[in-house]
A and B are shown apart, each in its own frame.
Chain A
């Protein structure tokens, strides 16, 4: 970890915040803490399974969210899940698996995308891992171009603003991507006086853009400072602490739901397997939110020795079984390239015009 990264993380009180909470007074209901741990482990195991699938040569590419569980899981738990303006819209990037797992996505869905099966409901075998799409939960398609979700989020938030509906819009992305114009667009459009948008703008700052370090790319002290210039309420939080994330996200949701105005969160967190399979997808020695959270829960008497290990084991066998069955599922066919070019499968092939 680079010196400045350590410094920046310490500024938000990495890990100690979680550990300090005394055993006598749990910060959140015990059931919720256990649920968060469960989902964090499930999400981690899923990503590690995807990496194994890649390394076994059963997939072409991996990119995903291991290391972002402490942020992504509370986010998924706090979302008002459903279809339409009165529920929350999610514009996620390719590290959104913890959020989807927390929302109830079965492990097998992600494996189907990873292995490009015809049964992959998100993309039909067309796209990379973690490029989810769940219209029934307002999870709009994840796409690869960095930052475009920030300009699209303006639109769902605008629709909710126009209809004065109950839902809000949530957008996630990385730190390096904030250099793109779409990030600025999101700040400009969501903060216009009299037209403020009900949107939670988040940045998951892992201090890397592939191989380019945070330092040297940013002149601003924190990314959240950019929101302040637009009079957007903002917070820098420790994205490695699920309890802190839960509270700060809860605060942000409450603020947006009540005031129908934007809120900005910069969460500082780890990137545990490097950028993607292109950089090897090997475990990196960075702060591990699951390790620290389970230690904290142990110290607090919420779990006992062996509990986390058996969680891992349970999800590992579920993920392995899922991989087994996905292997036998049908692949997309050549003729599928013409499917869904236009709505209702209207012909799009000029040879047939």
Chain B
């Protein structure tokens, strides 16, 4: 199975072959490295930008103003902060120009903790990103979703921010991409650049289904609950809503509690904006309890918006107060595992909070 970096690479390949992508650029994005996480190896339109994030975002806006499609990378989201007013401009250009210009650009950036990245390789950007109006924000948790979302992002006429959960970039999926060789060693031999001299290396791209898409704005239920069959069950139920790396923690937490007879539905939001409220809504009406889980810091967190909306619209369906489990409101994610694990939600913490919520009755 492809890992997420390979999946993104294959989507970008389809992008340059079939969807009009003219430039894929950023720091160390071109040859010989092909990206610090290898997501851009072997592509034909890649190039290395100067070490200048404002230049990268400004250039992407300019390319898009010229009507060309590009994918720009900021090497780590920790370094995207000095571009924030340019990101605002990218988001407001269509609106402020009265619809005259739209910016068909994708910005991708690795985000979040989980690789012992210390203070400047563990930041999250999702809560900040959702304040960038005019953008669409996506964040996959599996290679196949990364593949399908990247293709949708490239096709979308609006600026799309593609957040790459960096701890998941080298994790293999459980589902084959459509058309992917079944043997992962074969895939590796085809598209991973060799160690050492790469001057003569060329990738051999597998023939993937070019029409595959994961639509922006559609969530995925990764652990489904059917209360219909045992409606009279004495065990409580709940919904976990997450995206990116913490989806996997949520899945495992749900499995753990399922073994004890609890019914926990997990929703992978996949798109933060626009977000799939209908899927969240139906699930919460069904389970009566909801917790929003993500890694960004907890004050003015995107989960708070969802919790607010839940309280506003679904109050009388709730059996417990809605929760947000997010990163602690501290200046950074410290390097020592004791610090990192105390800073961003872990599976154990999710289970603990979930138990507390499941025990709560009106």
Contacts and interface: CB of A to CB of B under 8 A. Distances in A.
A145 interface: yes
B20 interface: no
B89 A148 contact: yes
A342 B132 CA distance: 12
- Most chain A beta carbons < 10 A, residue from B52, B62, B100: B62
A238 B184 CA distance: 66
Interface string A109-131: 00000000000111110110001
Contacts of B278: 353
Interface string A148-160: 1011111111111
B353 interface: no
A141 B61 contact: no
A69 interface: no
B57 interface: yes
Nearest to A150: B58
A172 to B, nearest CB: 15
Interface string B123-134: 000000000011
A342 B61 CA distance: 16
Interface in B227-266: none
A121 B100 contact: yes
Contacts of A158: 23, 59, 62-63
A143 interface: yes
A341 B133 contact: yes
Given A121-B98, A143-B89, A154-B58, A160 B66 contact: yes
Given A155-B60, A348-B133, A123 B275 contact: no
A152 B65 CA distance: 9
- Most chain B beta carbons < 10 A, residue from A154, A156, A345: A154
Contacts, number: 152
Chain B, interface size category, equals 35 or more
A181 interface: yes
Contacts of A340: 94-95, 97-99
B6 interface: no
Contacts of A122: 97-98, 100
Chain A, interface size category, equals 35 or more
Contact of A126 (B52, B98, B275): B98
Contact of B62 (A121, A127, A157, A345): A157
B98 A154 contact: no
Contacts of A152: 58-59, 61-62, 65, 86, 89
A145 B85 contact: yes
A24 interface: no
B66 A159 contact: yes
A141 B62 CA distance: 11
A54 interface: no
B67 interface: yes
Nearest to A188: B50
A189 B65 contact: no
B60 to A, nearest CB: 6
A192 B64 CA distance: 21
A299 interface: no
A341 B95 contact: yes
A107 B39 CA distance: 51
- Most chain B beta carbons < 10 A, residue from A134, A158, A169: A158
Contacts of A339: 95, 99
Interface of A: 84-85, 89, 91, 120-124, 126-127, 131, 133-135, 140-141, 143, 145, 148, 150-160, 162, 169, 181-182, 185, 188-189, 192, 339-348, 350, 353
10 contacts: A126-B98, A143-B96, A148-B86, A151-B55, A155-B60, A155-B62, A181-B52, A342-B94, A346-B158, A350-B309
Given A148-B86, A151-B86, A162-B23, 17 more contacts: A84-B66, A122-B98, A140-B101, A141-B96, A143-B96, A152-B86, A156-B62, A158-B59, A188-B50, A341-B94, A343-B157, A343-B158, A344-B157, A345-B99, A346-B158, A348-B274, A353-B277
Minimum-distance CB pairs A-B, first 6: A155-B62, A151-B58, A124-B98, A343-B157, A159-B66, A185-B55
